[in-house]
Structure formats: C-alpha cells, structure tokens
C-alpha cells in the first residue's frame, strides 16, 4: 500500500466536504467552501497516480473550477456513465454539470485571467425543491434517478432522464437527513438522519420498507455528514455514527430481515463516512496451489471524526489497515477508483489523501459479468434498467412481457429480411410522382439552375435546395412543384365502408343517385362574391384537383339548399354581389340534419374564423355523426362543437408541427398510414415530412421529440372532436407507441391511468368507461402489447395487467 497527500489539491485553505472519482479514472471532483461562495473543482487524476506527471508542468493539475453555487458545496457525485456531475450545497440547490465541447477557453472567475480552465463544464440543470441545505446526492444504478437529501428532513427523487421532474418526495425523518445510498440492484434507497434512525425505502412505490433505530439509541451529538453505503453484492448496508456499549461503530445491517448483529468497531470518535469498494473480490491464488472455490467478499473504508481511516474486508474479523491521524480534522468523504485499488479521502482541514493498494492486498476483483451473475442468482433481477446495454441482459419478470419481447424480436428479423429483399429490387420500385421517377425530377431540377454574372465577369450559380428524395416516405411537402396526383390521393383516401364525409355539391343533380358513393371531398362553392374569379390559391385548397368542374366556378351567389347523400342537406348563407366586405358584416351558417330532424348549426357566426383576411370557404362537409366541417382557402379546417358553440381547428395544412413531427417508427405498418376517416380526408396526404425537415434543417432531437408529441396529441384531440372512433383508436395507438419508443413513462402512465379508471366502484367517480363509443379498458388491453415491447416499462405493464385481471375476475 502507498499513501500520498497531494498538497496541490486544495481549496485555498478552505474545507473540502466531498470528493468523487470519475468512473473512467481520469479525473476527480472536489466540493467545498470557496472564497465567498461554494466551490466545485475538477482535477486531473494522472498527477496523483504518476510522480512524473506531477512534476511535468505541461500536464495540467486543475481542469475546471465552477463557482456557481451561492454557498458551501456539501456533496459532489459523478453519474455512473460519467457524463454528468451533480453537486448539492447550502444554497438549497442541486446543480447538474455536463462537459461543453463547443465553448471556448475560459478563466476562473476572479483570478484576473491567471487560472485557465482546461475543460469547460456548464450547468445544464438547476434542481430547486429543498427548503434547506442539501447534504448529499446519489445517482441510482444505471442513472435512472437522482436522489438528494436535505436538512428540511426530506429525500427528493428526481427523474434523471427528464430533469427537473420530481418522481417522489420521501417524508418520514424527523431530523436533518445527511446521507443517502442506493441498493446496487435498484430495489431500495436508504437514508440516515440526525433523528437517530436509518430508513430504507422501496423504489417500487417510494414507500417506507423499514426504519432502523436500535443501533443509534445511544448516539449523542451530531456529525456534519452521515454517509452510509451499500455493499456491491447488495447483502449489507453499513451505517455511519452508530453506538455499541458506548463505543462508536459503523453498524452492519443485513438485507435479509434487516438484522443488526454485526458492526465495525475500533474508532474512538463518531463515524462520519462509510464507502464500499465497487468491486467484489475473491482470494488471490498462490502460485502452485490448487484453485479452491473461495467465497467472494467485499471491501469497505470507514472514516471518522477521530481523523483516522480504516479499511475492512468482509472475510476478515479485523481491519486490513488502520491509518491514524491522517488529517488535522474530521474525515468528510471517501471515493474508490472503479478498478477498486485506489481510494481518495478528503477532510474538513482542506486536504486530500490517496491510498494505492495492490491486488495482493485486496484480492482478485470479479469481472462485471461475474458480479451481474451474483446479482441475478441472489435477487433474480435488476430493477433499475435504463440503458440499452443493460436492457439486452435484463431479466424479464413477467411471462406475458416475455411473449411480447419475443414477438418484437421476430418482427425485427422479418423487417430485416424484407429490407434485404427490397434492396435487390429497389430499381424496379423507384418512386413515381406524376409519371416521373424521383431521379428524373432531381435531374430536371438541376437543369433549372439560375446562372448570373457579377460586375467583374465571374459566374455565379444561385443555390437550389435539393432534399434527398426518399421512396420510403410518401410526403411531397418539401417540393411544392410536385403535386400529388388525383388518382393516387383517391386510392389513399378511399374507404371500403360507408362514406365518412358527405360533400355538398349544389350543381350536380345526379349526385343523389350515384351508383358508387364518392368519399373524396368535392369543392362545394366559392364563398367569394360573383364576379371574382377563383384564383390559383383557392384551386390548390381543394383536396383533389380531379374533382374540379366548370359548374364549381359558376355557382350562383344566393342562399339555396344543397343536396347531399343520406337525405341530408345543408344551407349556407353567402355574400351577395355588391355586398360589403366580410369584415364589415357577420357571416352566419345554418346546417340541418334532415335524417335526424335536428338543426346542427343555427345562425352561428363565422366572424371569428374569417375576420381580418380575404379567406374564403372552399368546402363544407358533414361527418356521419352530423358534425359540420368547414374548409377554408388557407388550408385550415374547422368543425363546429355544439356543446361549446365554438368552431374548433382540426387541421392546418401549413402547421409547422406536422412538418417537424417524425413518428415513422411508431406506425404499425405502411397500410396503417392510410387510416381512412373524416380526419384523414380533411387533412389529405400531408403525411409525415419529419425526415426531410430533420435532414434539411438539422432539427435537434429534443425539439423533434416535443413537436412530434404535440402533433400526435393534436391528432388524438382532433379525432375525438370529430367523434371518429376508428381514427381515435389509430392515433392513440401511434401516440402510445411513440411514448414507449422514446421512453416517456410519465405520459404513458397518465394514459394508462385514464383508460383503466378506478378499480373499485365509487359514487363520486367522474370517470367514464367509454370514449367515442370505444370501451376504455378494451383500448388498454390493446396498449399492453405495445408497452410490452420496452423492458423499461415492465413494471407499468405488470401493474396494468394485474389490475385488468382483478376487474375481469370481479
């Protein structure tokens, strides 16, 4: 064992309260008191490990200093991935730091430019919730959650995937909470406080599992911190500041039954910090001796107010090493290197010490695979699964979940083989638009280059935006010069069932007795005064250019009944020739459903949707449920909501959300994209152009996520407003599939909660069991296979499945 005290690691004489080594072992962070604020410093590890690097002036010792905390920093902790650093302090804040690659060099604030930051770290999240000093922070296994504890007697669990979302606030301590540790399997989190108790909480429902008080009954006085630690095999939890026969101890609590029969004894003053080595060890084999199967053991370091450090192995009754008077003041924090052979200790006196062990002293560390095998053989599962690497080796708890996982794997194999087949025949299946192949369109565009000459005679070609034409996406939104052919639109929008929308044509006498019901929206009439010719824009506002006829353009400008299918007709008031502009009058609409003998819309003003522009009404349509839909020349479509007496926007062809949304991966199949119904007919084929948007404008993934969520929520709401049950089901499943793919658990839980409703009947319940004629719990059953495709949601899957089983058995 080697012992080193690097004097250059200091906070200018101020105390260092916390230290943590980066998972890759190249750097470490310290937190403590600065000149007049809290200070977080990131240091280079190589000058600590190598004497030559320490002497080399070209190798920086300090990498970055952050003075953002307003008061003393009590704890710094790297995430398990090493991407983030969390720091908590007396300013009641937790700051989450991330390395910034694109920020230029900076200097330490107040150093007059003498101290330069080698690495640039910026604060990406500030977490505000505690009403007192933050004493400790801890990342869960696989970085799913971040926990913080404070002198406000609470523990807060933050969603580390979606800061600053709070998952739970754990209340139960009656004293200052000063230490936290996660169970390595992710099933529990333990906290220790000044109220002479150690509490273990379940991560399943964030409720108290047990409260241990007996070992702390004799404790008098307080320590600045109570940093407890869980062994890497999950068997033991070791506390700080316990007492046994009036002597200070570190209490060992067994996971099995939470028994408190053992402790680490020997320190003369209260134990402040306990830290387990991240590795599990086995005895080193002597040369020539037969390899006996030795029992794995753990290694633990204990620091105390008596300024001494002890290192213990769980296979020995006595400590491996004790170092007395290592510092001038109390030990505050301990951190092990990831390889398990080095240890950094910090003290309130403002200095740090590094201990370097050899494998002969500690033993042979087990590999991560062996460690994982111990976890699985002991607990059967690891619950805190969040990263793709861990998902591949995750234990599936639910047999139904396993079924859906296997089905998903089979689908992926089928898709791969289909993709391979398509590659061979790609040339024959080239995309054709208006009789031209996509490659021809690209060449023609290149021919249209505009060439100019500057004053000095140089040639300049005006840049032309050429997006990648992709046969895999049907959208033509990125080339306005390529209209979608009428026949193609007709086949996409045609419905095999009864007509979903009823076009109202005043000038087609034989539409009533048509042999084949037409489901394509037909232009009814122009709402402009006669004499105004219909301009190109209003022509383009129609869904199908093929449906235009001369009779459309010469519709008489007077109020007259318009025939429609299914014995329905509608009246619409229009401006007469010579009438004042729309802004100076109030256009109204009257619509009657003859079949049901009701007036659907009666003298409702159109002023709110037509005011302040020269828009015209290009179509009026009626859904099967008697909901009137009005298409305007600017591409917007409104439907009337009788219960609110308002016109609701259900479609906007220029909606930027539709341009940026990308949910291709959430569509069940190419056929499902052609979902027929009133919403599909109103919106036409403004299908997903998110791929082009992302390629042309490099939309950040977060922005695209938010726009896709907003767009899908709009689609669900629009289908609900139009009372289109088929489309509501389709878009709800697409939305849920997107949430599952992107890992949005909170929103997914909200949907499941609403569809499930109350399990036990209560008279005061506001929950309705159906939505647009669909049974909510049947919809939830359809969602379960979707949720079952992502292992992260196996708890949600099991919860919903169990609740549905209870309801079925009732």
SS (H, E, C) 708-749: HHHHHHHHHHHHHHCCCHHHHHHHHHHHHHHHHHHCCHHHHH
For every residue of 269-308, DSSP letters joined together read S-EEEEEE-SS-EEPPPPTTS----PPPB-EEEEEETTS-
Which residue reads 């009137």 in tokens? 628
Ranges under pLDDT 70 in the chain: 101-116, 285-293, 380-398, 415-416, 418-451, 462-598, 600, 602-603, 611-613, 669-675, 685-699, 761-764, 810
Question: Residue 451 has which token pair?
Answer: 């060439």
Which residue reads 């404070």 in tokens? 150
Please answer whether residues 446 and 461 qualify as being in contact, where contact means their C-beta atoms are separated by less than 8 angstroms.
no
The backbone torsions φ and ψ at residue 698, rounded to the nearest 5 degrees and listed phi first, read: 50, 55
Closest CA to 108 of 45, 46, 58, 62: 62
The backbone torsions φ and ψ at residue 30, rounded to the nearest 5 degrees and listed phi first, read: -125, 150
In a domain, 322, yes or no: yes
In a domain, 424, yes or no: no
In a domain, 560, yes or no: no
pTM of the model: 0.52
Q: Of the residues 374, 402, 437, which one is the last residue of a structural domain?
A: 374
DSSP 196: T
User: Rounded CA gap, 38 and 363, in Å?
Assistant: 39
To 5 degrees, how large is the angle CA 622–CA 626–CA 627?
A: 70
Q: Of the residues 345, 374, 403, which one is the last residue of a structural domain?
A: 374
CB atoms within 10 A of CB 48: 22
CB atoms within 10 A of CB 38: 25
Domain total in the chain: 2
In a domain, 494, yes or no: no
3-state secondary structure of 447: helix
Strand intervals (E) in 151-261 = 154-159, 166-171, 177-182, 188-193, 197-202, 208-212, 229-230, 236-238, 242-244, 247-254
In a domain, 543, yes or no: no
SS (H, E, C) 336-378: ECCCCCEEEEEECCCCEEEEECCHHHHCEECCHHHHHHHHHHH
**C-alpha distance from residue 165 to each of 142, 160, 169, 182, 704 (Å):** 18, 8, 11, 19, 20
Question: Residue 430 has which token pair?
Answer: 């080239």
Domain of 8, CATH number, reads 2.130.10.10
CB atoms within 10 A of CB 681: 27
| Stretch (H or E) spanning 764 | none
**305: CB partners within 8 A, 6+ apart:** 223, 269, 270, 271, 272, 330, 331
The backbone torsions φ and ψ at residue 581, rounded to the nearest 5 degrees and listed phi first, read: -65, 160
In a domain, 500, yes or no: no
Closest CA to 740 of 708, 781, 788: 788
The backbone torsions φ and ψ at residue 357, rounded to the nearest 5 degrees and listed phi first, read: -100, 165
User: Rounded CA gap, 689 and 735, in Å?
Assistant: 17
Count of CA atoms in the C-beta half-sphere (13 A) of 513? 2
Sheet holding 154-159, edge to edge: 134-139, 145-150, 154-159, 166-171
In a domain, 350, yes or no: yes
Checking phi first, is residue 324 left (phi over 0); if not, alpha (psi -120 to 50) or beta? beta
Please answer whether residues 438 and 430 qualify as being in contact, where contact means their C-beta atoms are separated by less than 8 angstroms.
yes
Question: Residue 482 has which token pair?
Answer: 């390529």
3-state secondary structure of 254: strand
**C-alpha distance from residue 76 to each of 11, 37, 613 (Å):** 14, 15, 59
Q: Of the residues 374, 402, 432, which one is the last residue of a structural domain?
A: 374
Strand intervals (E) in 371-425 = none
* Residue 694 lies in domain: 654-806
Whole-angstrom distance between the N-terminal and C-terminal Cα of the chain? Answer: 66
In a domain, 499, yes or no: no
Question: Residue 409 has which token pair?
Answer: 């794997």
């Amino acid at each position: 064992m080697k012992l080193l005290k690097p004097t250059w690691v200091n906070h200018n004489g101020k105390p260092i309260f916390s230290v943590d080594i980066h998972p890759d072992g190249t750097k470490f962070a310290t937190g403590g008191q600065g000149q007049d604020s809290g200070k977080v410093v990131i240091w280079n590890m190589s000058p600590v490990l190598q004497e030559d690097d320490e002497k080399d002036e070209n190798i920086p010792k300090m990498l970055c200093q952050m003075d953002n905390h307003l008061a003393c920093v009590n704890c710094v902790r790297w995430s398990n991935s090493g991407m983030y650093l969390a720091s908590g302090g007396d300013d009641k804040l937790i700051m989450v730091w991330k390395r910034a690659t694109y920020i230029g060099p900076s200097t330490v604030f107040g150093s007059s430019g003498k101290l330069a930051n080698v690495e640039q770290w910026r604060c990406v999240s500030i977490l505000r919730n505690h009403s007192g000093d933050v004493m400790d922070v801890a990342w869960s296994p696989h970085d799913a959650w971040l926990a913080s504890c404070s002198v406000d007697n609470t523990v807060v669990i933050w969603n580390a995937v979606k800061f600053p979302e709070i998952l739970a606030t754990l209340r139960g301590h009656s004293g200052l909470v000063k230490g936290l540790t996660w169970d390595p399997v992710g099933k529990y989190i333990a906290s220790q406080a000044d109220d002479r108790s150690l509490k273990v909480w379940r991560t399943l429902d964030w409720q108290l599992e047990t409260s241990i008080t007996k070992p702390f009954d004799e404790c008098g006085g307080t320590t600045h911190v109570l940093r407890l630690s869980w062994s890497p095999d999950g068997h033991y939890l070791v506390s700080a500041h316990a007492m046994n026969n009036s002597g200070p101890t570190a209490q060992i609590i067994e996971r099995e039954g939470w028994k408190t029969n053992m402790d680490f004894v020997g320190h003369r003053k209260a134990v402040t910090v306990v830290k387990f080595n991240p590795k599990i060890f086995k005895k080193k084999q002597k040369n020539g001796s037969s390899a006996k199967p030795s029992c794995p053991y753990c290694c633990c370091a204990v620091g105390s107010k008596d300024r001494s450090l002890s290192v213990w192995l769980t296979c020995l009754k006595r400590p491996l090493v004790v170092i007395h008077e290592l510092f001038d003041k109390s030990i505050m924090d301990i951190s092990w290197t990831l390889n398990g052979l080095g240890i950094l200790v910090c003290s309130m006196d403002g200095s740090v010490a590094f201990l370097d062990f050899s494998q002969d002293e500690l033993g042979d560390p087990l590999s991560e695979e062996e460690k994982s095998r111990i976890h699985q053989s002991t607990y059967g599962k690891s619950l805190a699964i969040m990263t793709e690497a861990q998902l591949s080796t995750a234990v599936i708890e639910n047999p139904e979940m396993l079924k859906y996982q296997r089905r998903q794997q089979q689908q992926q194999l089928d898709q791969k083989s289909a993709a391979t087949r398509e590659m061979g025949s790609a040339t024959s299946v080239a995309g054709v638009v208006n009789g031209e192949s996509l490659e021809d369109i690209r060449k023609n565009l290149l021919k249209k280059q505009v060439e100019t000459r500057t004053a000095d005679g140089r040639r300049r070609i005006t840049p032309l935006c050429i997006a990648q034409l992709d046969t895999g996406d049907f959208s033509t939104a990125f080339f306005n010069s390529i209209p979608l052919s009428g026949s193609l639109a007709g086949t996409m929008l045609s419905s095999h069932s009864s007509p979903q929308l009823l076009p109202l044509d005043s000038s087609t006498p034989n539409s009533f007795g048509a042999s084949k019901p037409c489901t394509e929206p037909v232009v009814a009439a122009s709402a402009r005064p006669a004499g105004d010719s219909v301009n190109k824009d209003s022509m383009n506002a129609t869904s199908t250019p093929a449906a235009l006829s001369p009779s459309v353009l010469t519709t008489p400008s007077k109020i007259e009944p318009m025939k429609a299918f299914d014995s329905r007709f509608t009246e619409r008031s229009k401006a007469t020739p010579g009438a004042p502009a729309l802004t100076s009058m109030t256009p109204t609409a009257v619509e009657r459903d003859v079949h049901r003998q009701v007036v659907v819309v009666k003298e409702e003003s159109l002023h709110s949707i037509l005011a302040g522009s020269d828009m015209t009404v290009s179509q009026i349509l009626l859904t099967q449920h008697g909901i009137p839909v009005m298409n305007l020349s600017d591409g917007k479509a409104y439907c009337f909501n009788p219960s609110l007496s308002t016109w609701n926007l259900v479609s906007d062809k220029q909606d930027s959300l539709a341009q940026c949304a990308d949910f291709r991966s959430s569509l069940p199949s190419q056929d499902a994209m052609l979902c027929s119904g009133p919403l599909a007919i109103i919106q036409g084929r403004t299908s997903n152009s998110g791929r082009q948007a992302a390629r042309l404008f490099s939309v950040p993934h977060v922005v695209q996520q938010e726009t896709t969520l907003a767009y899908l929520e709009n689609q669900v709401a629009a289908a609900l407003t139009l009372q289109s049950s088929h489309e509501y089901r389709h878009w709800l499943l697409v939305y849920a599939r997107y949430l599952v793919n992107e890992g949005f658990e909170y929103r997914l839980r909200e949907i499941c909660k609403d569809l499930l409703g109350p399990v036990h009947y209560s008279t005061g319940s506001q929950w309705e069991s159906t939505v647009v004629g669909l049974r909510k719990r049947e919809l939830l059953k359809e969602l379960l296979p979707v949720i079952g495709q992502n292992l992260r949601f196996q708890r949600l899957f099991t919860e919903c499945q169990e609740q549905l089983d209870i309801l079925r058995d009732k």
